[in-house]
Amino acid sequence: VGGDAHLLRAKGVLMQFGGLKALNRVDLDVVRGSVHGLIGPNGSGKSTMMNVLTGIYRPTDGAVEFGGKTISGLTPSAIALGGVARTFQNVQLFGEMTALENVLVGLHHTFRSTVLDVMLHTPRYRREEAQARERAAGILQFVGLASLAGEEARNLPYGKQRVLEIGRAMGLNPALLLLDEPAAGLTAPDIRELVAIIRKIREHGITIILIEHHMDVVMSISDTVTVLDFGQKIAEGKPNAVQSDPKVIEAYLGG
């Protein structure tokens, strides 16, 4: 993905639901290769921003650029194939499929085989399927789930399900990965494991936007943190500066 130091730029994003401005002209510049934290009290617009960035919502006004190209207005699948992957605030796995199959489902979107190739099991399809299985296994290895590849997703402990979701998103080979509260509901050891995985993903050059309620998690892994409150950006900068910003403290205490 080409472009400047910023992989992603949201410019003046307005997202209106009836009379509610869930996002009120928010700018967001995400530096290539960074972990960018997005925090704010409940209802401040974090998930809405993620939905705008991934094309689930079309902004009422403003635009989103990814790699220098406007992506706002494209479909979610076009944006995903363009290199923006995500996980959801609530786990969205196929419970009756195995861990490996859940990753494979994501990979199928990248296939070049036609429906006919699939129906006729042509060499092209069989080659792609074999490559995909190998790649899915590699991804499970990467996120530490190799030994659970054959387990049904619904039987995995909750912490592993959240990691599997990240693995599935990695299947898209994204340049940008958006994580919506990945540590929610996790135990302390699970959180440590998650943090290690996020660091590892970043070391692979993948840019990350991280929405997270656990302050210690965001503050320890983010290069930059943006704070939303009532749909507006109230602070932005290095974790230390943001954490001690009176406006931020006020937003959390008052919220």
Q: Which is nearer to ligand ADP, 57 or 66 (CB)?
A: 57
- List CB contacts of 83: < 8 A, sequence separation 6 or more: 1, 66, 67, 172, 173, 174, 175, 176
Does 159 interact with ligand ADP (rule: CB under 6 A)?
no
Q: Which is nearer to ligand ADP, 17 or 94 (CB)?
A: 17
Buried b / exposed e over 21-46, threshold 16 CB at 10 Å, is: bbbbebebbbebbbbbbbbbbeebbb
Q: How far apart are CA 78 and CA 73, in angstroms?
A: 10
Does 207 interact with ligand ADP (rule: CB under 6 A)?
no
Q: Residue 135: which of 92, 173, 79 has the closest Cα?
A: 173
Q: Which of residues 40-99 bind ligand ADP (CB under 6 A)?
A: 40, 42-48
Q: Which of residues 6-25 bind ligand ADP (CB under 6 A)?
A: 17, 20, 22
Q: Residue 8: which of 47, 34, 46, 45 has the closest Cα?
A: 34
Site size toward Mg ion, by CB under 5 A: 3
Q: Which is nearer to ligand ADP, 122 or 232 (CB)?
A: 232
Q: Which stretch binds ligand ADP (CB under 6 A): 37-45, 125-133, 219-227, 247-255?
A: 37-45
CB of 238 to ligand ADP, least distance (A): 22
Q: Which of residues 31-50 bind Mg ion (CB under 5 A)?
A: 46-47
CB of 48 to Mg ion, least distance (A): 8
Site string for Mg ion, 74-113 (x = CB under 5 A): ---------------x------------------------
- List CB contacts of 230: < 8 A, sequence separation 6 or more: 24, 43, 44, 45
| CA-CA-CA-CA dihedral for 89, 90, 91, 95, to nearest 10 | -160
Site size toward ligand ADP, by CB under 6 A: 11
Residues lying near ligand ADP in the complex (CB under 6 A): 17, 20, 22, 40, 42-48
